[in-house]
Amino acid sequence: MDKEKIRKEAKQVMDKFQKALDKAGIDEADVQIEREESVRDAKDDKFDSIDFKKRMLKNAPKHDDDCIVAERGDWV
Domain boundaries, the chain: 3-33+41-68
What pLDDT sits at residue 46? 64
Secondary structure element (H or E) that encloses residue 67, with its range: strand 67-68
- The answer to whether 49 and 55 have CB atoms below 8 angstroms apart is no
What pLDDT sits at residue 35? 76
pLDDT-flagged residues of the chain (< 50) = none
Question: How many CB atoms are located within 10 Å of the residue 69 CB?
Answer: 9
Which DSSP state fits 25?
T
Secondary structure element (H or E) that encloses residue 63, with its range: strand 63-64
CA–CA distance, 52 with 22 (Å, rounded to integer)? 40
